[in-house]
Every structure is written in structure tokens, then in C-alpha cells.
Amino acid sequence: MTSSTQEGPVAVIGLGAMGLPVALRIAETRDVRGYDVSAERVALAASGGIAAAASAVDACRDATVVLLAVRDGAQLHDVLFGEHGFAPSLSRGSVVIVTSTVGVRAVQEVASRLEADGVELVDAPMSGGPVRARNGDLLVVVGASDAALATARPVLARMATTLSVVGRRAGDGQALKTVNQLLCGVHIAAAAEALALARGMGLDPAAVLPLLGAGAAESFMLGDRGPRMVEALEGGEPEVRSRLDIFVKDLGIVQDAARAHHVSTPLAAIAEQLFRLGEAHGYGTLDDSALVRLLTS
Amino acid sequence: MTSSTQEGPVAVIGLGAMGLPVALRIAETRDVRGYDVSAERVALAASGGIAAAASAVDACRDATVVLLAVRDGAQLHDVLFGEHGFAPSLSRGSVVIVTSTVGVRAVQEVASRLEADGVELVDAPMSGGPVRARNGDLLVVVGASDAALATARPVLARMATTLSVVGRRAGDGQALKTVNQLLCGVHIAAAAEALALARGMGLDPAAVLPLLGAGAAESFMLGDRGPRMVEALEGGEPEVRSRLDIFVKDLGIVQDAARAHHVSTPLAAIAEQLFRLGEAHGYGTLDDSALVRLLTS
């Protein structure tokens, strides 16, 4: 009897850009059952050794750990409590790990409904992108009770090199992730503005970028998105490493939170407008370095 | 005869927060004559081994290198061409190093007036703060002709561990510095927003800061200003390491440049408003981490 059998199967619902590599990573040491609304994604997962489930309910049968990697709060609600939602089929004592960035309120609502059925939610938004997901090198910030975390920890430990427990309530992970995404979104948009201004002033963006990155203007996002923005400025089509519409969603979550807590966040508000304008220009499914195209002609 | 005598004295005009440590650093290997409108600053410089000059004209006598560390474009113009301006007393072949951030236009105007008298301007805005200035550890971005740079280089090399020659025209250094300050100003304001939101959401800013700094939300400014912002949130009065009104000036320069080149820079525009609002609240001479006080109550 292998340890994976002892620990039971893990269900992964949502096999998108992040869910699939996470599922593949977990499948290296545990039995994983995967489900996605797209049959294509399920087939892709199956080719990587994941047991294909015919439905979310099917995937979750007998699972003590269900990991959700859905797009947004609406999908989270639907997959659990919608027409084909799997929440009613969960057994008491199982845990649901929410790895998506959906905001505090969405996670708290879901957590309290699950709690009524004896199921605990582990609030565990992840960041790092698909490559780091495949390598188990994500950053995961957690809000969960000690008991729920104990059940979820073996799975989370496979996914993350950095696992930060922010608090004991569902929503604590989302709160930190919300603040994190405020900075990420503003930094990406600031990088686009800076490179657009550099170009406007007659500087060579490719030459400017390393100089900016060497000093006080440095940010992770400048280093990460900067080269792809330079590529876009030079007429290229950068590889999609992080879709622009992700930050349309995440900066919306930032504003929801700022509104709920009566905090003024004017830079994040403007950054949200820039991402939304990018989406309106048809760049939603492009790499978010496409923001620089909005600001140049 | 020492090498410092062979190379002749260096004049430093402006002995403020940056000018004084720069002068003291250069004075370790060269004769330096210093002048400032404040007699107190001149006396302070004299106690550190710098020859006190009675006027800017006096400081520049026989100097082949004059280094200017003034506050803004108005001071730059005045110290050179005003009532007691030293420009008429400069000898042909000498160079004027402008280390201040004054914008492209201000430096270009001054450079063309000096050029008519056979004096070249070395556009060399510096960054790094007083401590790094004292240690010769600044970042200096340079726009200058090869000939002017050759004359200025021994002085610049004493000041900077990183000397980046951006172009050969006066204004090229300012252009890069302008883009740099766009990012710095936006990143400081974004850090303030993020920590204000963290506090508003019930997170502990001191606990949140290292988590944000470990991932994609990281920036130099978050790491540098973040701890002082946390101190301010906890009711402390952070040490003044970089005055808030510096970015009122620098983000004004950013908008001047953006306007001149017809580039849209909405985040920098909002950041400028935040710094200006901070100044209106009486925080202009405080450390710029005081921005977080604007966004919290």
C-alpha cells in the first residue's frame, strides 16, 4: 500500500493555465482526479496521468482534499453550489482548498456555507505562474484553521516553496493577496508608462530598461514584464505569460476591498482603468505587457 | 606637488543634503572650494576640510570643474546667470556638472548659453541619497560630449559606483532620470496605498510587508520606504531620509516631459497629486513615507 493510497485521492477542479500544472505536480506523489468544464482540458490532464472525472461530483467522491483553481468568484460559487455543484456530495471533515484570487467576501460566503455541512475551506491564493506551478515553486498565502491546514498541508507543500500562513480565518489569504495584487497591477502599469515615456523622450527602451532596473526604480514587475514590453514596442508579439484580463479581475477585487473598508486607493483605481481599457482594445487575452501598446502609438 | 594640485581645485556650488556629502567625498582626494547661499552650510563644509568661498564666483575662480548641486531649475538658472551668477567668470574649456534633477529643458537651455562662452555642461543627475553620496556610492546617469566627460570623469568617478553614459547631449541624463523618477514616485505612492489597504482590511502592516517583499509585489521602494511607512502607521515619526517635497518637484518634471512629448502618464499624474496633497498637509519637509499618513486616519 503506497502512501498516496493511504492519504486518498486529491480532487482538482479547474484545469486551466494554473490548475493543470498544479494537478500534474501533485500527481507526481498522489492520486489525482481532475475535472474541468472543458473536455479538452480534461483530456490533456489525462494524458499527463491524472484520472479524468466525468463531473465535479465524480472527481470529489471520497476525496478528503478538493483543490479549486477556478477563474473568479462566480465560478467558485457555481462549481460548489450551482446546478451541478459538488458541495452537497462532500463528506464531513473534508477540506476545500481555494487557490484562486476571488476576494475576501467571496471566500467568506463560501466558507460559511461549507461550514454548515462540516466542511472547512482553506483560503490559499497562489501566485507565481504556470512554470513555477509545474515545479512546485509557488508562493501561497493561507488563511485556515489549524485543523483544516493540517489536512491540506501535504498538498500545499507540494505546490509551494513559500507557504505563508497569514491568519486562521478564510479570507485572510485573500486579504493579503488583494494587497499584493494592488502592488503588482500598479507596478505593471507603471512600467508601461515609464517605457512609453522613455520612447516618447527619444530614449531607446531596450537600453533604458537595465539602467532603471539597477537602481531605486527597480521592481519585480519591471524586470519581469519590462523585456516583453520592449519586445512589444519593437513590434513583436510577446508570449502570453500572464493574461491581461487577470488584472482586470484582480484590480476589481482591490477596488471592492478598498470600498468595503473605506480606503482611498487612487493609483490602483487608475491602473484598473488602464487594464480595462486594454481589454476594451481587444488585449484581454494577450500578455499584460500589451499595456505598453495602449500608451504608445 | 600632489595630484590634487595638478588637477586643480573643484568648485561645489550648493552644499545641501546631497551637495555637502558629495563635496566631502571629493575633498578626500582633491582640493574643493564650496559655496552655498546659507553661511551655516558653508561653515559646516569648512569644518570638514572644504575651502569656504565667499561667493559662487569666488568658488569657481580657476576651477576647471564646477559641480552644481542645487534644488531645482530656477536655482540652476539663478546661480549661473542671475545677479551674482558665476557663468561670466568661467574660463573657456571648463565644465559645469549638473547633478540635480531639473528636467531636460532646463539643462538644455543652460547648456546652450554656456556653450556660447566655450563652457560645456555635463548632465549628470545623481541618485542614492546622502549616505551613499558620502561613500561615493551614487548612481549617476550622464549626458555629455566625450571631451567634457573626459574632464569631468575623475570627479564623477569619486561620486559614483555606477556611472551610466546615456548619450552625448546635455539632457540625455535628465531624460533617463525623469523616467526613473516616474517609477520611483509611483512605487512610493503604491507602497503607501498597499499598506493603507492592508491596515484597512485588518492585516498587520508590519507582518504583511515582508510577505509582499518576497514575491511579485516587490520593489526597491517598498523595501526602502515600507519599514518607515510601518513606523508611521504605528504612530512613529520616521527619520527624514528623503524629503516628500523632492517628489513634488520630480513628478512635476515628469509631467512637463510627458506633456512636451505628448505621452499619457496617468499613474504618475495621480502620484504627483498625492505628493502635492502631502505637501499641502504640511508634510513637505517630512520623510516621504509620510504619504501613508495621507491615506490613513
**What HEC string does B7-18 produce?**
HCCEEEECCCCC
A130-181 pLDDT, tens digit per residue, is 999 999 999 999 999 999 999 999 999 999 999 999 999 999 999 999 999 9
Q: Which part of chain B has CATH 1.10.1040.10?
A: 175-294
Question: Among residues A177, A225, A228, A249, which one is catalytic?
Answer: A177
Average pLDDT, chain A: 95
Please answer yes or no on whether B127 and A216 come within 8 Å at the CB atom: yes
Cα(A57)–Cα(A85) distance, integer angstroms: 7
CA-nearest residue to A188 within chain B is B217
CA-nearest residue to A189 within chain B is B267
A39-77 pLDDT, tens digit per residue, is 999 999 999 999 999 999 999 999 999 999 999 999 999
A27-36 pLDDT, tens digit per residue, is 999 999 999 9
Measure CB to CB from residue A211 to each of B176, B187, B208 and give the nearest one. B176
Q: What average pLDDT score do residues A279-296 get?
A: 97
| Nearest CA-CA distance, residue B147 and chain A, Å | 22
User: Residue B271 is placed in which grid cell?
Assistant: 502620484
Cα(A275)–Cα(A273) distance, integer angstroms: 6
Domain A3-169 has CATH 3.40.50.1220: no
Sequence letter at residue A288? D
* Phi-psi category of residue B49: left, alpha or beta, with phi > 0 → left and psi -120 to 50 → alpha: left
pLDDT above 70 for A5: no
Q: What is the pLDDT of residue A297?
A: 76
Q: What is the pLDDT of residue B236?
A: 96
Length of chain B measured in residues: 297
User: Residue B166 is placed in which grid cell?
Assistant: 546615456
A157 close to A216: Cβ distance less than 8 angstroms: no
Could you give the C-alpha distances from A70 to A78, A101, A137, A193, in angstroms and in order? 10, 9, 19, 31
Average pLDDT, chain B: 95
pLDDT above 80 for B99: yes
- Cα A51 from chain centre: 23
| Nearest CA-CA distance, residue B210 and chain A, Å | 11
Question: Among residues B177, B225, B243, B249, which one is catalytic?
Answer: B177
| Nearest CA-CA distance, residue B192 and chain A, Å | 9
| H or E segment to which residue A154 belongs | helix A146-159
Please answer yes or no on whether A187 and B187 come within 8 Å at the CB atom: yes
SS3 A16: coil
Q: Is A249 a catalytic residue?
A: no
Cα(A286)–Cα(A161) distance, integer angstroms: 28
The residues with which A52 forms a beta bridge, in sequence order, are A34
Q: What average pLDDT score do residues B98-112 get?
A: 98
- Interface pTM (ipTM) of the complex? 0.94
Q: What is the pLDDT of residue A142?
A: 98
Instruction: Sort strands A138-143 and A126-127 into parallel, antiparallel or unpaired.
Output: antiparallel
pLDDT above 70 for B253: yes
User: How many helices (H) and strands (E) in chain A?
Assistant: 14, 9
Q: Which part of chain B has CATH 3.40.50.720?
A: 3-169
Confidence of residue B183 (pLDDT cuts 50, 70, 90): very high
Q: Which is nearest to A143 in space by CA: B161, B208, B164?
A: B208
pLDDT above 80 for A212: yes
CA-nearest residue to A175 within chain B is B201
pTM (2 d.p.):
0.94
Architecture in CATH for domain B175-294: Orthogonal Bundle (1.10)
pLDDT above 70 for A252: yes
Please answer yes or no on whether A176 and B208 come within 8 Å at the CB atom: yes
- Chain A residues closer than 8 Å to B247 by CB: none
Q: What is the pLDDT of residue A262?
A: 97
| Sign of the alpha-carbon dihedral angle for B160, B162, B165, B170 | negative
Q: What is the pLDDT of residue A8?
A: 81
Q: What average pLDDT score do residues A116-125 get?
A: 96
SS3 B233: helix
Q: What is the pLDDT of residue B42?
A: 97
Q: What average pLDDT score do residues B184-211 get?
A: 97
- Chain A residues closer than 8 Å to B191 by CB: 183
SS3 B28: coil
Please answer yes or no on whether A198 and B175 come within 8 Å at the CB atom: yes
- Chain A residues closer than 8 Å to B181 by CB: 217
Which of B201, B204, B241, B297 should one mutate to test binding to chain A, selecting the residue with the greatest count of A CBs within 10 A?
B201
Q: What percent of chain B has pLDDT over 90?
A: 95
Please answer yes or no on whether A182 and B190 come within 8 Å at the CB atom: yes
A253 close to A103: Cβ distance less than 8 angstroms: yes
- Residue A249 DSSP label: H
Q: What is the pLDDT of residue B28?
A: 96
| Nearest CA-CA distance, residue A22 and chain B, Å | 19
